[in-house]
Amino acid sequence: MKFFETLQNIWKIDELRNRILLTLGLLLVYRFGAQVVLPGIDTAQLAKLSEQTDGGLLGLLNAFTGGAFSNASVFALGIMPYISASIVVQLMTIAVPYLQKLQKEGESGRKKITQITRWLTIGITLVQGPGYIYNLYNILPSAAFVMQDSVAFVASSVIILTTGCIFAMWLGEKITDRGIGNGISLLIMVGIIATLPQSFVQEFASRVFQSNGGLIMILIELVIWFLIILASVMLVMAVRKIPVQYARKNASGKYEKSNFAGARQFIPLRLNASGVMPIIFAQAIMFVPAAVAGLSESEAAQGITAAFNDMFGFWYNLVFALLIIVFTYFYTAITVPTNKMADDLKRSGGFIPGIRPGTETSEYLDKIMSQITLPGSIFLAVIAIFPAIIVSLLGVQQGWGLFFGGTSLLIMVGVSIDTIQQVNSYLLNRHYDGLMKSGKNRKAVA
């Protein structure tokens, strides 16, 4: 009953209702575009491309694009070039003084950084687009192309793929500005969810109709799936609370400690402050060994290529887990500014009991972050490689196994929690306005 009451409250708030409807409409446009095939390709000849994306790294990329990659869609590259550009710009901000200066300029600087990210997105798409078309020529039969090896087809397809990526980026930004927020993340989550029913149906058919464990195995898999979701929620929301006290000036102008007993003043340090970014970084690196080894025809190189193309294999997941732990420390170090936190605390008259304000506070926060990042990074690595574990132990199909952890599940959980918090903030604000007379009512009374 509480759930339906909340839905009624959401519908009563005009602004929130309009934002949700706009978000749903833009997401529907994105899903529609994922079904529009590139001009000049016969849709009846795409079976080979679908087989190529049944598993492995291309299967993961296909899941992120909601099946657009295997459909040879105008949104085949999805929003991933924008994600790559955002990561590159974020890393460059550490080393490039100009970008550091823009970061400190507030809203105007943020707009310039966004513009740089957009231009870099176009550049990345123009590089990835020809690679995607080249893959189509290699994997699809010649009958799939209306124009054989035509420069006009390649050029027009690259332009369309670039335009599709820019349009998807625009949809995400509109959802962020005029919808319920987290536009880019919502596009990725909707793409992931779009492939979930088909993957589950295939697993169900394999278990039940092919006598491969029956309904009992389906129930076991669903129980494990919900447990992994619960563990992911705990990872996303877990925090370490650092108690804080404040010094106030008394009547004589001297600082004295204030008593905040029961007020719960603390600094929340997240167990996983880096989110899914370490997994995305690690997956980007995992493409490199196979690509480099593929340049050689030696047996050792072919072995490396085979090992790093199998995302459910032992060596791939071992290296993948180690990279996640390393990148978790790296990304936490650049996103959690302990020096700034210590300075802000000092300026506001706050301090951690038993720790001197300033440098000692910064070092203490660094120490705490190091202590909680280790278990957080290991937990994140285990969840990231759990699809390989579940596939090897229970024989789960690879498409369905991707939803038992990794980036897919963490994005679904993280974005869902953020969206719920966004909606909840609107509800709380509306409830606060309801206790007081709204501006409109006061104007009417006047």
Give the per-residue pLDDT at 388: 87
Q: How far apart are CA 72 and CA 137, in angstroms?
A: 12
| Residue 29, pLDDT score | 93
For residue 62, the model assigns a pLDDT of 76
pLDDT at 264: 53
Per-residue pLDDT tens over the stretch 262-278: 445 788 888 888 777 78
- What pLDDT, on a 0 to 100 scale, did the predictor assign at position 357? 84
pLDDT of residue 256: 55
Q: Which CATH architecture has domain 16-195?
A: Orthogonal Bundle (1.10)
Q: Which part of the chain is CATH 1.10.3370.10?
A: 16-195, 213-446
Domain 213-446 -> CATH class: mainly alpha
Mean pLDDT across the stretch 281-288?
A: 76
165, 125 contact by CB (below 8 A): yes
Q: What is the pLDDT of residues 345-400, one digit of tens each?
A: 888 778 888 888 888 888 888 888 888 888 889 988 998 889 888 888 888 888 78
**Tell me, what's the pLDDT at 174?**
92
pLDDT band at 171 (very low <50, low <70, confident <90, very high): very high
pLDDT, greater one: 350 or 121? 121
% of the chain residues with pLDDT over 90: 11
pTM metric for this prediction: 0.77
